[in-house]
Structure 1
């Protein structure tokens, strides 16, 4: 890490924002490179940890007859926690058909499942205005977080 990048942490925002675009771009590029290196290092270490403990965690899960969730065991002075999360996905078209069937049978599908309607912006933008207007009362638009990206300015097509 360059001394310039190390100094950024303790630098007042006014001083940092007074730097030239070139200086900020250089600092961002260096920070991105460090982040990429740290990510690769972290993934490598996590792979080694998984390799070391996978059999012990798998055997403990089998003993406990526990397919998902947390198991814990010790390795010397270290407590090892292994998690296998449960990731459920639902086929939206099939759920929609089930909800329709429940409605036809006089049931309230919303008492059994969470129903969320969404409309992609691109689809909404393609609709005729008369249809858009009927949906507008249900539409709220708020600002997302502004983002800025710096890149080298290559003048003259370089």
Structure 2
């Protein structure tokens, strides 16, 4: 990070209005320093998480095996430190196979919704490339909301 002219504690104490009124150079500095700090934190968190895995991973696997579970929370002790290790379950489904199963359920006269969560969506690029007649049939089902804005600050090059 570069030399700071506004320190993190000062930033935290400033209101949104005060931050908005800062000169462009300070806004650019703050944005750059925050980006660098976030990158450092992310990299350092990943390194520390790898260290925790190296220190406690085998113990956690053994504790899960002893408890008869493949996933979930186990608690370990390292002297006075209580270490909680959570290994979440991440399930994914083969979409082609689910579609075939859904077709069989529908063909048997059952309601698919009684067995599966069904969500329909249309990619925005497809929607935009459809003929107007087709788009008009879908427009009543389409809601457009703004996402979160993002900002990038850079000085104009002086030629």
TM-score, normalization by structure 1? 0.90
Whole-Å separation in 1 of the counterparts to 2:24 and 2:100:
55
Aligned to 2:66, what secondary structure does the other structure show?
helix
Q: From 4, 10, 18, give the equivalent of 2:6.
A: 4
Number of the residue aligned with 1:94:
97
Mean CA deviation greater in 18-27 or 48-57? 18-27
TM-score, normalization by structure 2? 0.90
Query: Paired residues, what number?
Result: 156
Task: Give yes or no for contact 1:68–1:86 (8 Å, CA) kept in 2.
Answer: yes
Whole-Å separation in 2 of the counterparts to 1:15 and 1:124:
42
Could you tell me how far 1:3 is from its partner in structure 2? 4.6
Corresponding position: 1:150 with 2:121: no
Task: Give yes or no for contact 1:5–1:31 (8 Å, CA) kept in 2.
Answer: no
Number of the residue aligned with 1:40:
43
Corresponding position: 1:85 with 2:88: yes
Whole-Å separation in 1 of the counterparts to 2:38 and 2:82:
28
Whole-Å separation in 1 of the counterparts to 2:24 and 2:5:
18
Q: Deviations over 1:21-43 (max 9, x none)?
A: 22201111011112211222222
Q: From 71, 76, 92, give the equivalent of 2:74.
A: 71
Q: What is the Cα-based RMSD across aligned positions, in Å?
A: 1.6
Task: Give yes or no for contact 1:74–1:80 (8 Å, CA) kept in 2.
Answer: yes
Aligned to 1:143, what secondary structure does the other structure show?
coil
Aligned to 2:119, what secondary structure does the other structure show?
coil
Q: Deviations over 1:1-28 (max 9, x none)?
A: 7251332221233322112222201111
Aligned to 1:81, what secondary structure does the other structure show?
strand
Mean CA deviation greater in 58-67 or 35-44? 35-44
Q: From 108, 121, 124, give the equivalent of 2:124.
A: 121
